[in-house]
Amino acid sequence: MKAFGVLLRRELSLAWGRGGGPLLALTFYACVVVLLPMASGRAPERLAAIAPGIAWLALALAALLSLERLFERDYEDGTLDLLALGPAPLEAVAVAKCLAQWLATGAPLALAAPVAALMLGADLKVMPLLVLCALIGGLAFAFLGGLGAALALGSKRGGLLVAVIVLPLFAPPVIFGAGALDGYSAGLPWTSGLLLMLAYCAGAVALSPLAMGAACRNALD
């Protein structure tokens, strides 16, 4: 457990610095939500209607951005060898990495989401739900993205592979989250979407470390 804490601290400081860390994801997120209204035509009320959905979708894309190299660098510079020979199994190492990724980029993005939604003209009352969705969804994105990154380890076009693997896995939480947000702002039942997303997130957090550990072992062999 102590070793896990040591590793988490290190991963956090690496995630904070890796390729611009949270700034890169936040900037990308800002670009999407600034450009999108310009492309969607002159109808503020239409924009306002889809604003929570857009803020939510852009979040998923921004989360993908810095995930690609989650394991790649450690694999290239030999750190993964060292991590494999530590007191914690590679599954726990993967959990530490994904958690750190979530804390370093997922959480800042979740805080930025209401600002973006507000800018797009969304109603104030959806903001708490949006932050909640972004936090839960961000956790799922971090673990699923980590899974993609681990599976793509050692392949030449890793980035492409990550996108292809991760895209279908990202679809359910995007749908559930958008459903909850939509329902809530329209005054319809919305809890089922949130609960489904929670369940999906719990499944991802529980299962993907097993796959990540196996994928890392495979890459080292």
Partner 1 sequence: MLRAVLIKDLAITRGERRLFSGLDLTLSAGEAAVLVGRNGAGKTSLLRALAGLLRPAEGTVAFEGADGPVEADAARAEHLHLLGHQDGLKSSRTAWEELRFQTLWTGGTEESARAAAKRFDLPRLLDLEVRRLSAGQRRRLALARLAASPRTLWLLDEPMAPLDTAQRAAFGQVMSEHLAAGGMILASVHDPLPIPTRSIAIGEAGR
Sequence-distant (6+) residues with CB within 8 A of 94 are 146, 150, 208, 209, 212, 213, 216
Binding of partner 1 by 1 (CB under 8 A)? no
Closest by alpha carbon to 189, among 181, 197, 198?
A: 181
Do 120 and 55 contact (CB within 8 A), yes or no?
Answer: yes
The least CB distance from residue 26 to partner 1, in Å, is: 20
The least CB distance from residue 72 to partner 1, in Å, is: 13
The least CB distance from residue 215 to partner 1, in Å, is: 14
The binder of partner 1 chosen from 76, 164, 171, 192 (CB under 8 A) = 76
Can you count the helices (H) and strands (E) in the chain? 10, 0
Closest by alpha carbon to 95, among 72, 19, 103, 85?
A: 103
Binding of partner 1 by 86 (CB under 8 A)? yes
The binder of partner 1 chosen from 32, 48, 84, 163 (CB under 8 A) = 84
- Whichever of 32 and 84 has its CB closer to partner 1, that residue is 84
**Rule CB under 8 A: which of 10-39 touch partner 1?**
10, 13-14, 17
Q: How many CA atoms lie within 13 A of 184 on its CB side?
A: 24
Give me the residues that bind partner 1 (CB under 8 A), please.
Answer: 2-3, 6-7, 10, 13-14, 17, 74, 76-87, 89, 220-221
